Structure formats: structure tokens, C-alpha cells
Amino acid sequence: MGALSEIQLERARKNHSAILTGLARVGQNTVATALDVDESKISKMKSGGDLQQLATLIAALDLKLVPAASRCFNPKEIETILWQAQQYLARIGSVDQLQWDDHS
């Protein structure tokens, strides 16, 4: 594992944790059925280090595991949006400045 960067090693740890969490949530039997293997195969993968190796492989590819419902955004785009919002909000001194017209 010496060839991995510290970031990749941390990501491998998080990947492994995500795999174990997902396995606990879904259940070994469900995963075994999906893979068309016996449930004992999943147990052996857990105890034999295969899942850790898979997590490390994913990290070595500079990938990470995230929940399916998660959405990814480009950090530079988000920084731009935040900067624009901060510039606009810095010009607002009170709620009254948010009114569209002078009729209250």
C-alpha cells in the first residue's frame, strides 16, 4: 500500500467503511443473492480482506464510494456561485432593500 498517497489511503478507509455500512444496511443475504453466491462467500470476503482490497483498488483509481442519492458538483462552480451570493448579500443592509417596489 506504500504507493498510495495519504489522501488515497484515507479514501480507501472511507470506501471500506461505506462498503461495510452498505452491507449491514442491505444485508449479506441480499447481496449474496444479487451476486448469485452463497452467503458464506460474502462472510469470507469480509473476513479475508477482499472488501478492504476492493476499497483500496477503488481509491487507487482516484474514485470514491458515495450513496446513490448523492449528487456531485464541481467545486469551482460552487465557489463561483458562493462568491456571487456573498457579493450580492454584502450590498444588502436591510430587508427593506429586498422589496420590488415602494408599495408595502
Is 57 domain-assigned? yes
Domain extent at residue 81: 6-98
Is 104 domain-assigned? no
CB 51 within 8 A of CB 16: yes
Predicted TM-score of the model (pTM): 0.68
What is the pLDDT at residue 1? 45
Instruction: State how far the Cα of 81 lies from the Cα of 62, in Å rounded to an integer.
Output: 26
What is the pLDDT at residue 97? 76
Domain total in the chain: 1
Instruction: State how far the Cα of 7 lies from the Cα of 60, in Å rounded to an integer.
Output: 10
What is the pLDDT at residue 95? 78
Q: How does pLDDT run along the chain (104 residues), one tens digit per residue?
A: 468 999 999 999 999 999 999 999 999 999 999 999 999 999 999 999 999 999 999 999 999 998 888 888 899 999 999 999 999 888 887 877 777 776 65
Instruction: State how far the Cα of 5 lies from the Cα of 101, in Å rounded to an integer.
Output: 57
Instruction: State how far the Cα of 49 lies from the Cα of 1, in Å rounded to an integer.
Output: 14
Q: The CATH number of the domain where 37 resides is what?
A: 1.10.260.40
Instruction: State how far the Cα of 50 lies from the Cα of 56, in Å rounded to an integer.
Output: 10
Is 74 domain-assigned? yes
Calculate Rg over the CA atoms of the chain: 23
Is 18 domain-assigned? yes
| CA nearest to 31, candidates 16, 17, 45 | 45
How many residues are given for the chain? 104
